[in-house]
């Protein structure tokens, strides 16, 4: 469910309200930092990516539209993109065409009435961890490292077709797990 | 389109949803999606799954210093950090002469102890400290006190020499992409760089020798600003303090 307090706070941030900005930081910094740390695997880089994410919140708050989805998803999408950009810069890898632009994502965000409680998110985390090792590897390299299927095939030494098959199988399992929660 | 024709596109949908589809396959899939509702629906499901993966990462509290850094970048902090130049040096110097002498004695003693500790460090820091010692012992050395919003200390200068020494405390640490830059102020108001430095973290004071291309008597003041790493050709960032002499 979209937090009405979030909506009010981000509107105030858009008007330059610093207390509202810090309130949102206090509320979501741990979630953002958990994701950047997961992606970057380096405390200093993760801290910088977290900082950049909230700087973007300050400068882009006026672009947020509550009717299209939750602020947390918006923040985490920005955080993932920021962290992956940094990861590619550090590894000197080219950027991937990313269909998950935060400004375009609204139409595909989960229906707010179906947003789960915290326990469901944790169970999803465990669902990822419980995937078969091969399937988990492709999901983690794709989602948390921003690699393309070809790059994953190179890293793991698998045929491209194998990567595609295992990625689809992993996503099917996760989808079933989520729908059964 | 029959199922066999959908298959190569459907195979790529999960990767596309995660942003992992190879660039060479993206155009073909996007073209297909424009005309295929069932594949668009399937994409929507997988994209939703991608959003769920965003949430399925355990939270991790960032360091407390991050909040302070963000707060320091907000407009109110930037405004408060600008020093207010209402101090008339001549008037304060007359009124506080005795107190200044006492402060200098205490300051000198603490600085001598600081210099002794600094001799175990990097050669540039040792050199700066040696210059400070030398100036402290010279009868022609003048002391100009620093009073910024957060910074305090003194600048030792001998107008007949082309070198001065800054001893300052209270300057906040900077991120790696920024640095403090010293500016020597000419009578026409233009600035010449006097060097770059970072505040020392282990000791309370930072000592920095300031070299110039002419005697200090050719300048009317010294200031310090925050600049991008590597320095600037002229002051561009926040001014931490300025002293006139």
* pLDDT at residue B95, rounded to an integer: 54
Model confidence, pTM: 0.55
* pLDDT at residue A175, rounded to an integer: 85
* pLDDT at residue A65, rounded to an integer: 83
Is the pLDDT higher at A175 or at B85?
A: A175
Chain A, window 74-133: residues with a beta carbon less than 8 angstroms from a chain B beta carbon: 76-77, 80, 96-100, 105, 107-110, 121-122, 124-125, 127-128
Chain B residues within 8 A of A127 when measuring between CB atoms: 56
Which residue in A33, A110, A122 is closest to B62 by CB distance?
A33
**B205 burial level (CB within 10 Å; 0-12, 13-18, 19+):** buried
Chain B residues within 8 A of A38 when measuring between CB atoms: 57-58
Answer yes or no: are the C-beta atoms of A168 and A157 closer than 8 Å: no
* Token duo for residue B161: 């020499």
Is the pLDDT at A115 greater than 60, yes or no?
Answer: no
* Token duo for residue A40: 């970057």
In angstroms, the separation between the Cα of residue A80 and the nearest Cα of chain B is 8
**A118 burial level (CB within 10 Å; 0-12, 13-18, 19+):** exposed
* pLDDT at residue B118, rounded to an integer: 55
Question: Which residues are within 8 A (CB) of A38 and not within 5 positions of it... i.e. 6 or more apart?
Answer: A144, B57, B58
Report the SS3 class of residue B35. Answer: coil
**A142 burial level (CB within 10 Å; 0-12, 13-18, 19+):** buried
* pLDDT at residue A107, rounded to an integer: 36
Question: Which residues are within 8 A (CB) of B97 and not within 5 positions of it... i.e. 6 or more apart?
Answer: none
Q: Give the lowest-confidence range in A120-129, A144-153, B40-49, B115-124.
A: B115-124
CB atoms within 10 A of CB B197: 22
Is the pLDDT higher at A88 or at B118?
A: A88
Is the pLDDT at A1 greater than 50, yes or no?
Answer: no
Which residue in B20, B49, B63 is closest to A148 by CB distance?
B20
Best B51, B55, B75, B177 residue to mutate vs chain A (most A CBs within 10 Å): B55
Interchain CB contact of A16 with B (< 8 Å): yes
Span A36-41, mean pLDDT? 93
ipTM above 0.85, yes or no: no
Answer yes or no: are the C-beta atoms of A67 and A6 closer than 8 Å: no
Best A108, A117, A169 residue to mutate vs chain B (most B CBs within 10 Å): A108
Is the pLDDT at A109 greater than 90, yes or no?
Answer: no
Quote the crossing angle between the two packed helices A4-14 and A18-40, to the nearest 10°: 110
| pLDDT tier for residue A105 given thresholds of 50, 70 and 90 | very low
Is the pLDDT higher at B233 or at A103?
A: B233
* pLDDT at residue B91, rounded to an integer: 53
Q: How far apart are CA B205 and CA B30, in angstroms?
A: 61
Candidates A70, A68, A34; CA nearest to A53 is A34
Question: From the first residue on, what is the mean pLDDT of each consecutive set of 10 residues in chain B (245 residues)?
Answer: 73 90 90 92 88 85 94 83 56 60 63 56 59 68 77 80 82 86 85 84 72 77 88 86 85
Answer yes or no: are the C-beta atoms of B155 and B144 closer than 8 Å: yes
Best A54, A83, A84, A97 residue to mutate vs chain B (most B CBs within 10 Å): A97
Dihedral pair phi/psi, residue A96, rounded to 5°: -95, 145
In angstroms, the separation between the Cα of residue A40 and the nearest Cα of chain B is 13
Q: How far apart are CA B169 and CA A39, in angstroms?
A: 38
Which residue in B11, B56, B66 is closest to A50 by CB distance?
B66
* pLDDT at residue B121, rounded to an integer: 47
Nearest CA in chain B to A127: B56
* pLDDT at residue B201, rounded to an integer: 62
**A88 burial level (CB within 10 Å; 0-12, 13-18, 19+):** middle
Span A67-93, mean pLDDT? 84
* pLDDT at residue A34, rounded to an integer: 94
* pLDDT at residue A29, rounded to an integer: 97
């Amino acid at each position: 469910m979209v937090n009405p307090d979030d909506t009010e706070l981000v509107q105030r941030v858009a008007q330059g309200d610093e207390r509202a900005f810090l309130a949102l930081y206090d509320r979501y910094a741990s979630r953002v930092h958990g994701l950047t740390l997961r992606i970057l695997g380096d405390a200093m880089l993760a801290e910088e990516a977290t900082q950049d994410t909230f700087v973007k919140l300050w400068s882009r708050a006026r672009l947020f539209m509550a009717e299209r989805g939750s602020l947390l998803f918006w923040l985490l999408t920005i955080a993932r993109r920021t962290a992956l950009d940094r990861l590619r810069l550090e590894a000197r890898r080219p950027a991937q065409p990313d269909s998950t632009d935060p400004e375009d994502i609204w139409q595909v965000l989960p229906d707010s009435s179906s947003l789960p409680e915290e326990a469901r998110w944790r169970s999803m985390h465990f669902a990822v961890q419980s995937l078969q090792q091969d399937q988990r590897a492709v999901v983690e390299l794709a989602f948390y490292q921003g690699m393309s299927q070809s790059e994953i095939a190179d890293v793991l030494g698998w045929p491209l077709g194998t990567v595609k098959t295992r990625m689809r199988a992993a996503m099917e399992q996760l989808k079933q797990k989520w729908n059964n929660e | 389109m029959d199922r066999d024709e959908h298959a190569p596109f459907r195979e790529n949908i999960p990767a596309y949803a995660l942003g992992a589809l190879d660039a060479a396959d993206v155009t073909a899939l996007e073209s297909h999606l424009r005309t295929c509702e069932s594949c668009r629906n399937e994409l929507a499901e997988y994209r939703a799954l991608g959003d769920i993966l965003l949430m399925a990462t355990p939270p991790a509290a960032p360091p407390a210093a991050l909040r302070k850094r963000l707060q320091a970048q907000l407009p109110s902090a930037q405004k408060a950090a600008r020093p207010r130049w209402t101090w008339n040096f001549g008037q304060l110097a007359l009124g506080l002469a005795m107190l200044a002498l006492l402060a200098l004695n205490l300051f000198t003693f603490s600085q001598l102890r600081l210099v002794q500790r600094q001799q175990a460090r990097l050669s540039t820091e040792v050199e700066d400290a040696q210059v400070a010692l030398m100036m402290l012992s010279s009868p022609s050395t003048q002391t100009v006190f620093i009073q910024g919003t957060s910074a305090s200390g003194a600048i030792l200068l001998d107008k007949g020499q082309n070198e001065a020494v800054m001893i300052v405390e209270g300057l906040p640490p900077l991120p790696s992409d920024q640095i403090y830059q010293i500016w020597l102020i000419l009578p026409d108001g233009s600035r010449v760089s006097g060097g770059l430095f970072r505040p020392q973290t282990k000791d309370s004071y930072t000592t920095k020798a300031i070299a110039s291309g002419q005697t200090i008597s050719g300048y009317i003041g010294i200031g310090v600003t925050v600049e991008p790493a590597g320095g600037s050709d002229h002051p561009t960032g926040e001014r931490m303090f300025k002293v006139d002499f």
